[in-house]
């Protein structure tokens, strides 16, 4: 009965109830929209970084990471590659030979890591090829070995496509070595530090130059990102002498972003709930004060305070119960729709690119947020009508009836 | 039986002291049909509120049946009112979102009466006040007089010891007033229900079997018609 009266009571002031319901629903929608957009952005940044330069897993010889010597190549390379190629989880592998080198052109000099790669294999692992402007991903160029440098380095060296470049380093015997390369393409990724430090040449060219076989690094990409950690364990148990890191270990900042996000979300949810609470307190207080006489009459004729209290509580529970699903459902629809179609941010493409983002955003919302929000909304609704409900209990029936 | 002894009521908000009642002694027996009259501000409402347990006396005792309600806690008073006293107010009697039937049923629900008993009694009472064809109407779909009749039915529903009515006809036209009084009078005659009501209206006073006149917080006269 109390519940029934409470339900009917909220429709007495339809406009006000709808305003509150819509406000709550919008709050939920807005909150979840921001969370899903932020999650989408973070995921996008992550994926971008993984795709352009981090990849899912990287294998190195432990000594290489420690000393960085040229001959610290991966000693079980053949076994490892065979193993990786056999695995159904693996999408692509790219062995790389890395040489710290001094790079020089007629226009300037710089330090750089020469990455010797197999272009076809590298295509399976990173989208470096797509980041090149001229579309020449290390094809042979007039007998001279090709090199790809970043836009940033090109500016520094005052180099262009077709510029000849000289790379020098000392080999493992301490003998100075110089290689001449022709710039065949220029790339740029979203990570300018990475760009400045890396240049790419063909693996066999670099192997020839250094007289070193094998590679220092094997980059691996799996079909499913979520299998990364488990596959890493698998590799570690198979090849215990190798240092094997997942993207989380290679680029910890990408993982921090996730943690950071959780914190921001929590704060955000608190703000939404506070706004919600404020709205409900306000409305219910108004609803109580407006009905002073009626509530006084109910207490006068013998409705006890516990029942009056619960009647008010139920009223706001109903508001929340109508608004909650409304907000959650509309969010669900929107997130699903834009999760499929994407949100077009091309108007800001330039700026987004510079921070590692693309122009189409796919919002992502973990199911847990729907549950969290639903629970929070109900708890907030109940908590925030306690004050108005207590206010109703303080009414003195004789007083309220007198001021007729 | 209502027994009021040496009741005083002083309102004191720290600035102004109002002695609304200054020593009231009165006994109202079961089956009486009593009007409390007097000029505005004389203390009629205060007295009814104290008898009805809506307010507590500053001094003195109010004994209803066996219970001295002057010493009950707020929550005990609410329960006492529910089970022993019927109220008809001047206005704001009914729950606006409920129908006539549901309003009458309401107190019986609070008393945890069975559905069968509620249904039977509600029908009977609405018939007794002549509203059997209005049972599904909401208060705002009924006239003031009809609303007051629903209030009387509601007051009776909980099977109270007596019914208190503070100026029940103040907002009614003369036809409705006469009609409401007829109903109250008949319930008094046929069911032996005790009514205590306050009024300014001479036509209502004329119908009372006992008239208590209050002035300045004291009983000026107490006359049986
Ligand atoms: N809560 C209160 N605080 C202070 N004074 C009060 C309060 N309630 C009533 N009074 C005073 O007590 C006195 C008696 O008031 P009461 O309402 O009982 O008179 P009444 O006979 O019912 O008058 P009316 O015919 O106008 O209804 C009045 O002087 C009134 O101003
Ligand atoms: Mg009065």
Q: Does A303 touch chain B (CB under 8 A)?
A: yes
Q: Whose CA is nearest to atom 16 of ligand 1?
A: B43
Please indicate whether residue A353 or residue A224 has the higher confidence score (pLDDT): A224
Please answer yes or no on whether B79 and A302 come within 8 Å at the CB atom: yes
User: Which chain B residue's Cα is nearest to A398?
Assistant: B54
Q: What is the mean pLDDT of residues A184-198?
A: 88
Sheet with B17-28: list strands edge to edge.
B17-28, B2-12, B59-64, B67-68
Ligand 1 contacts CB of residue B11 (under 6 A): yes
Identify the CA nearest to A160 among candidates A114, A105, A203.
A105
Q: Does A304 touch chain B (CB under 8 A)?
A: yes
Q: Which ligand is nearest to the CA of B41?
A: 1
pLDDT at A241 over 80: yes
Tokens of B133: 């064809």
Tokens of A96: 């790389």
Q: Does A292 touch chain B (CB under 8 A)?
A: no
Distance CA A322, CA A18 (A): 10
A292 and A373 assigned to the same domain: yes
Q: Which residue, chain included where needed, has tokens 């919302």?
A: A365
Fold of domain B32-53+73-224: Rossmann fold (3.40.50)
A218 and A265 assigned to the same domain: no
- % of chain A at pLDDT higher than 70: 96
CA of A349 to the centre of ligand 1 (A): 75
Pick from A12, A293, A300: CB nearest B81: A300
Distance CA A340, CA A357 (A): 18
A258 and A388 assigned to the same domain: yes
> How confident is the model over A350-359, as pLDDT tens digits?
666 666 566 7
> How confident is the model over A303-360, as pLDDT tens digits?
999 999 999 999 888 988 898 889 989 999 998 898 888 888 777 666 666 665 667 7
Q: How many CB atoms lie within 10 A of CB A263?
A: 9
Ligand 1 atom showing the smallest separation from residue B214 Cα: 21
* Cβ pairs A/B, distance under 8 A: 64
pLDDT attached to residue A347: 72
Q: Which ligand is nearest to the CA of B55?
A: 1
| pTM (predicted TM-score) | 0.76
Distance CA B132, CA B124 (A): 8
For strands B194-198 and B162-166, give the pairing.
parallel
Distance CA A111, CA A100 (A): 7
Q: Does B78 touch chain A (CB under 8 A)?
A: yes
Name the residue of B7, B46, B50, B169 to mutate for ligand 1: max ligand atoms within 8 A of Cβ: B46
Identify the CA nearest to B130 among candidates B181, B199, B87.
B181
pLDDT, tens digit only, all 225 positions of chain B? 999 999 999 999 889 999 999 999 999 999 999 999 999 999 999 999 999 999 999 999 999 999 999 889 999 999 999 999 999 999 888 999 999 999 999 999 999 999 999 999 999 999 999 999 999 999 999 999 999 999 999 999 999 999 999 999 998 999 999 999 999 999 999 999 999 999 999 989 999 999 999 999 999 999 997
Ligand 1 contacts CB of residue B65 (under 6 A): no
Query: Does residue A145 lie within any of the structural domains?
Result: yes
Pick from B49, B81, B98: CB nearest A301: B81
A266 and A155 assigned to the same domain: no
B161: DSSP letter: S
Please count the residues of chain A: 404
Q: Where are the alpha helices (DSSP H) in A58-191?
A: 62-67, 77-86, 119-125, 151-157
pLDDT attached to residue A358: 66
B110 vs chain A: nearest CA distance in angstroms? 7
Q: Chain B residues with CB inside 8 Å of A298's CB?
A: 95
A215 and A96 assigned to the same domain: yes
Please answer yes or no on whether A302 and B97 come within 8 Å at the CB atom: no
Categorize the per-residue pLDDT at A376 as very low, low, confident or very high, splitting at 50, 70 and 90. confident
Q: Does A12 touch chain B (CB under 8 A)?
A: yes
Q: Does A238 touch chain B (CB under 8 A)?
A: no
From the number of C-beta atoms within 10 Å of its C-beta (0-12, 13-18, 19+), residue A116 rates as buried
Work out whether the CA dihedral A24, A25, A28, A31 comes out positive or negative: negative
pLDDT attached to residue A397: 86
Ligand 1 contacts CB of residue B12 (under 6 A): no
A258 and A392 assigned to the same domain: yes
Identify the CA nearest to B90 among candidates B179, B189, B177.
B177
A313 and A388 assigned to the same domain: yes
> How confident is the model over A146-184, as pLDDT tens digits?
999 999 999 999 999 889 999 999 887 888 999 999 999
Q: Chain A residues with CB inside 8 Å of B78's CB?
A: 299, 302-305
Question: Which residues contact residue A29 at a Cβ distance below 8 angstroms, ignoring those fewer than 6 apart?
Answer: A327, A330, A331, A334
**DSSP codes joined into one string, B194-222:** EEEEE---HHHHHH-SEEEEEETTEEEEE
CB of A1 closer than 8 Å to CB of B106: yes
> How confident is the model over A268-312, as pLDDT tens digits?
888 888 888 888 888 889 889 988 999 999 999 999 999 999 999
The total of structural domains in chain A comes to: 2
Examine the fold and report which residue of A181, A199, A222 is the final residue of a domain before the chain moves on.
A222
pLDDT at A189 over 80: yes
Q: Does B1 touch chain A (CB under 8 A)?
A: no
Pick from B54, B75, B154: CB nearest A398: B54
A325 and A393 assigned to the same domain: yes
Side-chain-side CA neighbours of A385 within 13 Å: the count stands at 25
Categorize the per-residue pLDDT at A207 as very low, low, confident or very high, splitting at 50, 70 and 90. very high
Examine the fold and report which residue of A199, A222, A245 is the final residue of a domain before the chain moves on.
A222
- What number is the ipTM of this complex? 0.94
The phi and psi torsions of A22 (rounded to 5 degrees) equal -70, -40
Tokens of A202: 């063909």
Residue-number span of the structural domain to which A276 is assigned: 2-50+254-402
Examine the fold and report which residue of A178, A200, A222 is the final residue of a domain before the chain moves on.
A222
pLDDT at A142 over 80: no
Please answer yes or no on whether A404 and B92 come within 8 Å at the CB atom: yes
pLDDT attached to residue A355: 61
Q: Chain A residues with CB inside 8 Å of B96's CB?
A: 12, 294
Q: What is the mean pLDDT of chain A?
A: 87
A264 vs chain B: nearest CA distance in angstroms? 44
Ligand 1 contacts CB of residue B42 (under 6 A): yes
> How confident is the model over A43-95, as pLDDT tens digits?
888 888 888 888 999 999 988 888 888 888 998 889 999 999 999 999 999 99
Identify the CA nearest to B122 among candidates B142, B139, B108.
B108
| Domain range annotation of chain B | 32-53+73-224
CB of A76 closer than 8 Å to CB of A387: no
Q: Does B97 touch chain A (CB under 8 A)?
A: yes
| 3-state secondary structure (DSSP) of residue B167 | coil
A262 and A398 assigned to the same domain: yes
A290 and A398 assigned to the same domain: yes
Ligand 1 atom showing the smallest separation from residue B21 Cα: 14
């Amino acid at each position: 009965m109390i519940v029934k009266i409470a339900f009917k009571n909220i429709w007495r002031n339809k406009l006000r109830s709808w305003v509150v319901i819509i406000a709550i629903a919008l709050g939920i929608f807005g909150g979840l929209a921001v969370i899903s957009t932020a999650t989408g952005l973070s995921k996008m940044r992550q994926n971008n970084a993984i795709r352009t330069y981090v990849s899912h897993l990287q294998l190195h010889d432990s000594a290489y990471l420690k000393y960085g010597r040229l001959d610290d190549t991966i000693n079980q390379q053949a076994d490892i590659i065979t193993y990786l190629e056999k695995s159904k989880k693996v999408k692509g592998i790219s062995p790389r030979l890395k040489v710290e080198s001094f790079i020089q052109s007629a226009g300037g000099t710089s330090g750089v890591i020469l990455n010797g790669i197999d272009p076809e294999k590298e295509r399976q692992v990173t989208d470096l090829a797509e980041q090149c402007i001229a579309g020449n991903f290390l094809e042979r160029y007039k007998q001279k070995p090709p090199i790809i440098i970043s836009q940033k380095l090109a500016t520094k060296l005052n180099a262009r496509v077709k510029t000849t470049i000289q790379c020098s380093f000392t080999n493992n015997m301490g003998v100075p070595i110089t290689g001449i390369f022709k710039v065949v393409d220029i790339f740029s990724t979203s990570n300018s530090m990475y760009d400045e430090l890396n240049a790419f040449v063909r693996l066999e060219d670099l192997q020839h130059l250094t007289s070193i076989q094998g590679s220092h690094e094997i980059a691996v990409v799996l079909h499913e990102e979520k299998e990364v950690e488990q596959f890493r364990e698998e590799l570690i148990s198979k090849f215990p002498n190798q240092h094997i890191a997942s993207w989380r270990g290679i680029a910890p900042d990408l993982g921090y972003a996730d943690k950071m996000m959780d914190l921001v979300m929590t704060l955000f949810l608190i703000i939404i709930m506070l706004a919600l609470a404020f709205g409900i307190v306000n409305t219910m207080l108004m609803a109580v004060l407006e009905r002073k006489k009626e509530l006084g009459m109910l207490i006068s004729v013998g409705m006890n305070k516990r029942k009056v209290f619960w009647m008010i509580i139920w009223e706001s529970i109903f508001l929340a119960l109508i608004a909650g699903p409304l907000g959650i459902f509309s969010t669900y629809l929107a997130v699903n729709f834009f999760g499929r179609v994407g949100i077009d941010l091309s108007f800001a493409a330039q700026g987004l690119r510079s921070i590692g983002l693309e122009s189409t955003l796919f919002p992502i919302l973990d199911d847990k947020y729907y549950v969290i929000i639903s629970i929070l909304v109900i708890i907030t609704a109940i908590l925030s009508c306690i004050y108005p409900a207590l206010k109703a209990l303080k009414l003195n029936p004789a007083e309220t009836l007198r001021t007729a | 039986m209502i027994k009021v002894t040496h009741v005083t009521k002083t309102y004191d908000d720290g600035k102004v002291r109002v002695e609304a009642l200054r020593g009231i002694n009165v006994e109202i027996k079961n089956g009486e049909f009593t009007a409390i009259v007097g000029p505005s501000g004389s203390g009629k409402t205060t007295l009814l509120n104290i008898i009805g347990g809506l307010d507590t006396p500053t001094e003195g005792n109010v004994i209803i049946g066996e219970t001295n309600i002057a010493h009950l806690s707020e929550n005990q008073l609410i329960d006492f009112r529910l089970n022993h006293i019927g109220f008809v107010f001047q206005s704001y009697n009914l729950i606006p979102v409920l129908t006539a039937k549901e309003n009458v049923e309401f107190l019986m629900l609070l008393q945890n009466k069975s559905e069968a008993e509620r249904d039977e009694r509600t029908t009977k009472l609405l018939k007794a006040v002549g509203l059997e064809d209005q049972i599904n109407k909401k208060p705002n779909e009924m006239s003031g007089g009809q609303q007051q009749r629903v209030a009387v039915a509601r007051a009776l529903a909980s099977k109270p010891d007596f019914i208190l009515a503070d100026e029940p006809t103040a907002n009614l036209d003369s036809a409705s007033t006469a009609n409401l009084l007829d109903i109250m009078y008949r319930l008094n005659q046929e069911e032996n229900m005790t009514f205590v009501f306050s009024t300014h209206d001479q036509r209502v006073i004329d119908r009372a079997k006992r008239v208590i006149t209050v002035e300045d917080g004291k009983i000026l006269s107490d006359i049986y018609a």
